[in-house]
Amino acid sequence: MALDTNELGASGEDVRLPARTVSDHQLIEKVRNGDEAAFGEIMSRYKNPITNFLYRFLNDYEEAVDLAQETFVRVYFALDRYHTNYAFSTYIYRIASNLAITELRKRKRRSVLSLTGLFQSVDAEAVEFQPPDLRPLADTELVDDERSRVIASAIATLPPKYRIPIILRDIEGRSYEDVADVMRLGLGTTKSRISRGRGLLKEKLTGYMQGPNE
Amino acid sequence: MSDTMKDEDEISRMLAGLKAVESPDNFEGGVRSRIAVRRDEASLSRPSLLLAAKFAFPMLLLLAIGGSLILFNERELSGDLVPPVGDGSLDVAVIEGPGSGPTDISSSPNVNSPLAQVPVNRGVGNSRAVSQGGSEDIGLSSDDSTVFPDGVDPRKAIVANGKPPGEGSISPVDVLSMIGISTNCSATGCAVTSVRDGSIAAAAGIESGDLISAIDDRPLNSSRGITGKFTVSELTIVRSGKRMTVSIARR
């Protein structure tokens, strides 16, 4: 079970979650008691990690922000039902993951119903059928070189069952245990999926791995 | 380290090297706006539904009870009363039980008597007071279907309007007339001058010449009327110098 403390990434580096003097659970208790400012503190802690997670999952900044905001709204109205036997980070990533998966399904339905979507899928390199998001990125500064764009696109083509743990582990820097909790999977299965996801990415990014960075 | 592990590490480093995006400046404001909107929606829809569900059954129950009461009362008020005849000058209330009382006032030989002008309830209810003035329901009921020529059954109850003696009283002559006795009252009582054939008094054995000294223990005095609520269930008479009590029997 994940602890509600600052996390260290796989390499021992400090991850993006900020240092905390008040635990998430204490903040939640304050929100339950009507302290709106405490909810602001929760948002300030998690808005960037959740937005980044959703952006990497959807490869669409506007949708990522929209779903991130929706994530916090869901959290707010579900705080009374939240059980503190899980880390809050696990809880909020799980909500964000579910929203992201639901969004993917909506995209699929839209695509199947649209001739344009069918034609686009011919060129898609998805492992499973998945219409790519061809809209221009909202902020080109966020992905400032071709390499980053290719990596982002490659991640977006992974099946969700590999995409979520890869993003949580390698981009968000969550521990294997945290990832397992979010996915509701055992630790071994989680590690296996992360490994498999990396293998799929390697196949897509072979040219870039043998490039000047090597 | 195997090639596979090296590749995985390489991929992991590439992913970790991606620049993290940040939420926009108005992120928290957007969340709070959505929360406010959802809260408004919830306050508009849920309570009304809950209230409707919560109070629908009691409200329906109350409406059903109220409706049945109104219908019942309307039926009683509209169909069961005999409108007053004559000038209604007699200041009394007559309380009748179900099925009792006269059926045809106009056929009474004494229809011109003031007592014949007393409106009578022929309703199906337990009892009902009909009067120009106040009334009192003593809740009597009777299966007796005797026809009283003068339009009332004095055995049930007569209320002299609750007025002070002299204002709301009924004279003994009138009361005895109701059961078929014509009298001539004095300070000692009312002397029976005649008894109408077929009347309840005749059935009880009252004869001409009897002196009625009391009605239900109320001493009769020609100078004083009978007040309050009273019945005529027995008469105290003096016959041939003997004092006796005659029950107004039912036929």
**Which CATH number characterizes residue A177's domain?**
1.10.1740.10
CB-CB: which of B11, B21, B38 is closest to A51?
Answer: B21
Q: Inter-chain contact A68–B23, Cβ cutoff 8 Å? A: yes
CA dist., res. B53 & res. B58, Å (int): 10
CA dist., res. A193 & res. A208, Å (int): 22
Q: Inter-chain contact B21–A9, Cβ cutoff 8 Å? A: no
B31: chain A residues, CB-CB within 8 Å: 43, 69, 72-73, 76
Helices A187-204 and A146-157: crossing angle in degrees, nearest 10, is 130
pLDDT digit of tens for each residue in chain A (214 aa)? 444 444 444 444 444 555 567 899 999 999 989 898 999 999 999 999 999 999 999 999 999 999 999 999 999 999 888 887 878 999 999 999 999 999 988 888 877 766 554 555 444 444 444 555 666 555 555 545 677 888 899 999 999 999 999 999 999 999 999 999 999 999 999 999 999 999 999 888 887 665 444 3
A14: in domain: no
Give the CA radius of gyration of chain A: 18
Which chain A residue has the Cα nearest residue B17?
A171
pLDDT score for A121: 46
A206 contacts chain B (CB < 8 A): no
CA dist., res. B130 & res. B152, Å (int): 12
Q: Inter-chain contact A209–B7, Cβ cutoff 8 Å? A: yes
Q: How many CB atoms lie within 10 A of CB B68?
A: 10
- Closest-CA residue to B230 (of B178, B160, B181, B167): B160
**How far does A26 lie from chain B, in Å, by closest CA?**
20
Q: Inter-chain contact B18–A171, Cβ cutoff 8 Å? A: yes
A47: in domain: yes
CB A159 within 8 A of CB A152: no
A2: in domain: no
**Number of domains forming the structure of chain A:** 1
**How far does A34 lie from chain B, in Å, by closest CA?**
14
The 10s digit of each residue's pLDDT in B69-112 is 888 776 665 544 444 444 433 444 444 444 444 434 344 444 44
Helices A36-58 and A24-32: crossing angle in degrees, nearest 10, is 120
Return left, alpha or beta for A199; rule: phi > 0 is left, psi -120 to 50 is alpha, else beta.
alpha
Residues of chain B with pLDDT under 50: 79-151, 162-166, 251
A10: in domain: no
Q: Inter-chain contact A205–B11, Cβ cutoff 8 Å? A: yes
CA dist., res. B194 & res. B51, Å (int): 74
CA dist., res. B49 & res. B55, Å (int): 10
State the residue range of the domain holding A166. Answer: 24-209
Q: Which pair of tokens denotes residue B220?
A: 């009769």
Cβ burial B202-217 (10 Å sphere, 16+ → b, else e): bbbbbeeebbbbbbbe
A11: chain B residues, CB-CB within 8 Å: 16
A43: chain B residues, CB-CB within 8 Å: 27-28, 31
pLDDT score for A93: 95
Q: Which pair of tokens denotes residue B6?
A: 């090296």
Fold of B93-247: Pdz3 Domain (2.30.42)
Give the amino acid at A211: G
ipTM over 0.90: no
